[in-house]
Each structure stands twice: as structure tokens, then as C-alpha cells.
Amino acid sequence: MRTISKAFLLCLLATVLMIAVAPAADPQAGVAIAIVYDTSGSMNDSVANSKNQQEAKFKIASEALKNIVGKVDRYAQTHSVEAALVTFQGTPVPFKKWDKAAFDTWLSKFSSPGGGTPLGEAIATAANTIRSSQLSRKHIVVLTDGESNGTLKPEAAIREMKKTDGAGSPQISVVAFDVNSHAFDPVKKEGATVLPASGKNLEGGLRNLFSEKILLEEEE
């Protein structure tokens, strides 16, 4: 049997130590976004839109998000963007490099809201989805018209996310669409931004949110 040289063992040990103490890869400039879209039955209800005409909430929301998708797409021409779309039924647009067509296709075809409002579970899914990103900024945007009625409370989902991700936790913005924004005071206490919105100003509110908080240049 061959005798392993002392020099070889020392070299092997040094290699192992270098791997063990190697620093994690630096975050890359860019933004990772997970949009949580409320697909519950109440999104079938009608409210006044920007033209003061009655329209189903899901149609108003989908149209508003289509315009936001266009805004993100323009940003993505010169910046790194990764994104996913999460609903209460699953993740119709998986987390990946920005894909405008995937968002447009789903938003154009979605026509059947139904079921409850498991916001906590959806936030947890979004957090798990976006966790793998190496981009330096992460955001979860929740668009909902109702209070959570799932098993996992939204504030508990945020606390668990912060516990897992620490300083790298995504920033969370909740757009309270045609619902009393005070219903989301518990998530606000956990650091989430809560923005009230009606059918008349939903698109403008989303546009301001993305312009002023999410689609920003990297700080020097």
C-alpha cells in the first residue's frame, strides 16, 4: 500500500480549510421581485374603476399589473431583474430571470377568481421562492382585497422569513385594495409597508410604489 506523504496531507488540509472559510459570493446588483396576486372569490366583486365605471376587481388589478409589467420590462433592459408571480393556487410564473411574456400571458388569461385568502401561506411561498436570488435587493409585493383567513397569519410568516433570512430579508409592501388598510396593522408592525388603494387609484399607487421603492438605481 502506498504511503501518503506528509506534504500531500498538509496540502489537502490547506485546501479543505480554504474551502471552509471562503466567503459567500457577494450580492449582485439588481432586484428580485415576488408579486403575490389575490385570486380569492371576492376579486369577482365590482368597484368603480378609474373611469368611474363598475368593473370586477380582478380585471382592474390585472390591467394595473400589466402596466407595471411594462414598467419593469423597461427597467430590465438596463438592470438585472428576477421575478415570480405567486397566487393562492400556486406559482403561475416561477422565479427566474425577468420574463415579460410569462406575466402578460397569465394576466391576460386569468378569469376565474375563487376560494379563500391564505395570505400568510402566500407570503411564505413568495419568501421561499425569492430566497435563492443572489441579487442585492429583494421585494415582495402583495396585492389583496381581503383579510387573511388561512392557517398561517401574515405577520407570523414575515417573522419566520426574517428569522430565516436575517439582514437579507425581502422588503414587503402590501397594497390593500378596496379593504380597510388597518386590517394589516399587524404586518405593518413587522416592518411591512401598507398602502391603501381603490379601483380608481390602484394603478397609480402601484406605479408610485415601483418607481419610488422598488425600481431604483443601486446606491453608490
CA 190 to chain centre: 16
pLDDT (tens digit, 9 = 90+) per residue, 174-220? 999 999 999 999 999 999 999 999 999 999 999 999 999 999 865 43
pLDDT at 165 exceeding the cut of 80: yes
Q: What is the pLDDT of residue 20?
A: 43
Among 158, 149, 81, 160, CA closest to 119: 149
Contact 113, 39 (CB under 8 A): yes
Phi, psi values for residue 93, rounded to 5°? -120, 100
CA distance 53 to 96: 37
pLDDT in the model for residue 115: 96
Domain residue spans in the chain? 26-214
pLDDT at 105: 97
Report the C-alpha gap between 69 and 207 in whole angstroms: 10
CA–CA dist 94, 130 (Å, integer): 10
Fold type of domain 26-214: Rossmann fold (3.40.50)
d(CA 173, CA 183): 14
Alpha helices (H) in the chain, listed in sequence order: 6-21, 57-76, 100-109, 119-130, 154-165, 185-189, 202-209
Return all residues near 109 (Cβ < 8 A) that are at least 6 apart: none
97-108 mean pLDDT: 98
Average pLDDT, integer, range 116-144: 97
Place of cell 378596496: 178
| Bridge partner residues of 90 (DSSP) | 87
Looking at residue 217, its pLDDT comes to 63
Query: Which cell is 100 given?
Result: 415579460
Q: Is 10 exposed, middle or buried (0-12, 13-18, 19+ CB in 10 A)?
A: exposed
Distance CA 73, CA 99 (A): 8
pLDDT at 216: 84
What tens digit of pLDDT does each residue of 6-21 get?
A: 554 444 444 444 434 4
